[in-house]
Amino acid sequence: MTLLGVRDLVTAYGSVEALHGVSFHVDEGEIVALLGANGAGKTTALRTISGLLRPRSGEVRFAGDRIDTRPAHEIVRLGLTQVPEGRWIFTLMTVDENLRLGAYAEPRVPREALDRVFALFPRLAERRGQLAGTLSGGEQQMLAMARALMTRPRLLLLDEPSMGLAPVLVRQIFHTIAEINREGTTVLLVEQNANTALRLARRAYVLENGRIVLEGPGAELARNEAVRRAYLGVGARPRGREGARERPPAP
């Protein structure tokens, strides 16, 4: 069943269009990766889906319902939560307060959501009373994900969760993403770290200059010559990916 459906999405900053008609979908239970170079429009796409940005045209459907005209705080309540690029934790509040904000929409903090989060991230349990701004980079990423899980999402949007982390932490974060997915949460994963993302994702899309230029099963894209050259750091000409377009460029 399609959980998230994005069709012909156009989003602009003032007069500058950043997405020129993007379409893709995520089925219930999947991990789908959205890849692309810096500035391709990945963050713009996620922020439009979560309601922080309004699309100029096109539509976003979540569990069948149009959500592209809804405000962000209502979209969260429907079960779609974004973990933003740069984490955006509430630095001068405690770890505990950050987590309780995740449960803001509920009358009381749900016990089982808290237990689940501390089982996934035992480090956070040890640091509940600490100011979030004093956590290490890896711990802050964990907190951003934990806080999002407190909203009990059906679909989690992750924007570059591995950004700026040491390799051992990157492995740990990806391991946790797989675990979250196994427990039943659908994941849309934005990454520049294409290697790891493609190993995790069932399907993937490649975004380039505001357009989807490639799509397919994760393992297949990982073998695709053009993707390997462009995003996996293999081959001599890193930006030569002309032959890889499976979707024709929009007129």
Partner 1 sequence: MQIALQQLVNGLTVGAFYALIALGYTMVYGIIRLINFAHGDIYAVGAFLGLSVYGLLAFFRVGDPVLATLVALVVSMGCTGLLGVLLYRVAYRPLLRARLSILISAIGGSLTLEYGLFLVYSPSFLVYPHLFGRAGLTAGDIQISWLQILIFASSIVLMAALYLMVHRTKIGMAMRALAINQDAARLMGVDVSRVIALTFFLGSVLAAFAGVLTGLYYSQISFLMGFLIGLKAFTAAVLGGIGNIPGAVLGGFLLGILESLAAGYFSSRWKDVVAFAILIVILVVRPRGLLGERVVERM
Ligand X SMILES: Nc1ncnc2c1ncn2[C@@H]1O[C@H](COP(=O)(O)OP(=O)(O)O)[C@@H](O)[C@H]1O
Please report, as ranges, the residues that interact with ligand X according to CB under 6 A.
13, 16, 18, 36, 38-44
Please give the residue ranges that form the binding site for Mg ion (CB under 5 A): 43, 85
CB of 99 to ligand X, least distance (A): 26
- The minimum distance between CB 51 and partner 1, in angstroms, equals 8
* Least distance from ligand X to the Cβ atom of residue 18, Å: 4
Residue 45 or 200: the one with the smaller Cβ distance to Mg ion is 45
Least Å distance between CB 49 and partner 1? Answer: 12
Q: Answer yes or no: are the C-beta atoms of 151 and 76 closer than 8 Å.
A: yes
The nearest distance, CB 16 to partner 1, in angstroms, is 16
- From the list partner 1, ligand X, Mg ion, none, pick the one residue 6 interacts with, judged by a Cβ distance below 5 to 8 Å according to partner type: none
40 binds, among ligand X, partner 1, Mg ion, none (CB under 5 to 8 A by kind): ligand X
Question: What residues does 188 pair with on adjacent strands?
Answer: 32, 157
- Helix orientation angle between 167-182 and 111-120, rounded to the nearest 10 degrees: 140
Chain position whose Cβ is nearest to Mg ion = 43
Q: Of 77 and 223, which CB lies nearer to partner 1 in the complex structure?
A: 77
Query: β-strands 2-13, 57-62: how paired?
Result: antiparallel
Q: What is the DSSP letter of 198?
A: H
Distance CA(227)–CA(241), nearest Å, equals 7
61 beta partners: 5, 66
Interface residues with partner 1 (CB under 8 A) are: 50-52, 71-73, 76-77, 81-82, 84, 88-93, 97, 100-102, 104-105, 147-148, 151
Q: Which residues of 21-39 are buried (b: 16+ CB within 10 A; e: fewer)?
A: ebbbebeeebbbbbbbbee
Q: Which is nearer to partner 1, 93 or 163 (CB)?
A: 93
Q: 39 contacts which partner out of ligand X, Mg ion, partner 1, none, CB within 5 to 8 A by kind?
A: ligand X
How many Å apart are CA 113 and CA 151, to the nearest integer?
8
Please, which residues bridge with residue 212 across strands?
207
Name the burial class of residue 46, with classes exposed (0-12), middle (13-18) and buried (19+) by CB atoms within 10 angstroms of its CB: buried
| 59 conformational bin, left if phi > 0, alpha if psi -120 to 50, beta if neither | beta
Give the residue with the Cβ less far from Mg ion, 87 or 127: 87
Tokens of 4: 């998230």
Q: Which is nearer to partner 1, 18 or 213 (CB)?
A: 18
Is the CB of 104 or the CB of 164 nearer to partner 1? Answer: 104
Rounded least distance, CB 115 to partner 1, Å: 20
